Every structure is written in C-alpha cells, then in structure tokens.
Amino acid sequence: MLPEAIEAMTEHLGRVGNASSLHAAGRQTRRIVEESRESIADALGARPSEVVFTSGGTEADNLAVKGLYWSRRPADRILISSVEHHAALDPAQWLERSQDARVTLLPVDAAGRVHPSVLADAITAEDPSSVAMVSVMWANNEVGTIQPVRDLAAIAHQHGIPFHTDAVQAVGQVPVSFADSGADALTLTGHKIGGPMGVGVLLLARGLTPVSVLHGGGQERDVRSGTLDAPAIAGLAAAVRVAVRDQAAEHARLTALRDTLIARVRAIVPDVILNGDPVDRLPGNAHFSFPGCEGDALLMLLDAKGVECSTGSACSAGVAQPSHVLLAMGADTAAARGSLRFSLGHTSTLEDVDRLTDALPAAVTRARRAGLS
C-alpha cells in the first residue's frame, strides 16, 4: 500500500459512525465518504454523483454486467470481449445459463485487441436494439494490451447501447478520464493502485439505472446497498489521488524498467515469446510464453529464489487450465500453459529485475527438464 493510503485509513480506523446515520458521528463519517467521493471524481474526470462505492472490482463488474442487462430487458444480447477478466466474463456467462441472455464473445487479434469493426459487425448482425450492453476492458490484466475504448464506446452509442469498461489495470498506469472515454460504466479497485483490498468503485453515468445486485438500505443511489467502509474509502481516495498525480512519471519509469526486463529475458531465453502488443501495452506488464516449460513449475522455481510472478490471471490461480486470454489470441494450448506474467509497480526497482534475470536461466533449464521427464 502507498504510505498516503495507509495514513488516510489509520486516521479514521478508530472512529465510530455509520455514514447513513443522522447523529454527529454519522455525519462525520458521511463527510469522510463524500470528500473521498469528490476526490476520486476529480481525479478521474467524473462527477461525484457518478461514483458508486463497492467492495472491489469483482462486485463492480458484476453490478455493471448483471445490472445493465436486467435494466435493458427485453434486450437479451451481451457483447463482451473474449479476453475479459473473469469478474466480467463469468457474470455474462451466468446470465446466459440462468437468465436467457445471449452472449457474444468478441474476437481479438493476435495482440489481444478488439477492433472497432468487430464490435460494429456484432451489433448489426441482428437488430441492434436486441443488445443490452457491451463490455470491453480498458487494458488486459494478463498480457497488458490496451483497448481502443473511446472508439468502441462511440460505436455502441451510435446504437444507444451502454458501454462498460473494466479499468482496474488501467488507472494509475495510463491516463484515464471517465468523461473523455465515452464509457457509461467504469470499474476500478483499490489494491491495484496501492490502496486497500476490499474496496472499489463503479463509475456510473448519470441517468443510467442498473438493477441492483445487493438490496437493503438503499445506499449509493439505491444501486448498491450496504454500510460504507469509510476508512477503506478514504484509503482508496488517497491512492487514486497519488496514482493519478504520479501517472506520467511512473509511466516513463516503469516503461524503461519493463523494456529492460523484456530485453534481458529475450537474451537469456532466445525462443521466448512476448505476448500482447509490443508497444501499446501497460508500462508495468511483461508477459511471456516459455516453450517447453509448464508455467506452474517455472513459477515455483522462481518463487524459491524470491521472484513472485503469475501464471494467467491471479484470480484463477491453482486451476489447471490454460489461459483463456492466450487461447483467444490464437496461442496453442502448450504456449498458453507455459506462460508467465511479470508485473511492475510503484515499489519495483532495477534490483528486482536483476533478481529475476539471475534466477531465470537455471529455472528455465530445470522446468524444461521436468517437462521432458
């Protein structure tokens, strides 16, 4: 966590008060929440009334996908990219299984990008009024490819269709403005930007009324009921402020560090495959496929040397199946299973890259031998 986020949370952890209560302690807590709401809105080019607090990215994605689908019935089509995080993809597929939704997975190119023409064709393949919503993430959590969000949102709007983007990976890494993006709903979460776990936001355009997933006290525009976690919200607001403030400088620093990492890995493992767009990608993302290696084995060998990385999406770790993202990009099963993601953030330094490149040769050799045995 960022020091600023820890400080903001610590300041409020010992205070008692429900932001929905009218007494003095409640009003004090409400003030913390509303000041945080205004701060987040200002940093991300939104109105305060468009900030809906959630428990994190998964809840925000579920609220966007399910809530917009239900609010647009009898429209029954959901158009969603084939490389979405499971927090958005699984709700769409659940709606298909249990709520009679018809889900179209938008194909991507070899870099993992949805081309605007693909979305346009999918919308007009049937009556456009049958499309309930479109969801395409701002930047991919596995391979780091950045999507043409503004162009995709514009195409959806030509047909009056709401557009949602999961920007969990994008905030703090690339410039993000809700107003400029054209999105109607945008997801972010605290722990990806140096804030606390367990708190997030769905930016929701005024006039958009998704059906609630959680019912109860009617908080957050009656869209998301539940007592608000004021200390976590204050920590999230602090993290958003710092991440947006430092975004340009961190982008330059992380891009240089990432490019060094990529060059060194390619020198050590000449047949390694860099996945995702080589240029238009998140500055802190380097994703490789290592031929002849099982990703899980390579991960554990590196972990034993103090290098922490990921196979596929961290949320599906432990599940013995290849990355759906790489398969959608055209990779074969072996390449998809032999992939690793190295993520760089505000604490990353050249010494971290040194440790990786020191450990990698022996780890790859051992993983390949294990694969042959």
Question: Could you give phi then psi for residue 105, rounded to 5 degrees?
Answer: -85, 115
Tell which residue, 131, 135, 133, 181, has the closest CA to residue 154.
181
Q: Is 309 a catalytic residue?
A: no
Active-site hit among 6, 197, 315, 370: 315
C-alpha–C-alpha distance, residues 150 and 112, integer Å:
17
What's the rounded Cα separation, in Å, for the pair 79 and 163? 10
198: buried, middle or exposed (CB in 10 Å: 19+, 13-18, 0-12)?
middle
Q: 308-338: string of b/e by CB count within 10 Å (b at 16+)?
A: ebbbbbeeeeeeeebbbbbbbbebeeebbbb
Give me the phi and psi of 234, to 5 degrees please.
Answer: -65, -40
Show which residues are catalytic. Answer: 315
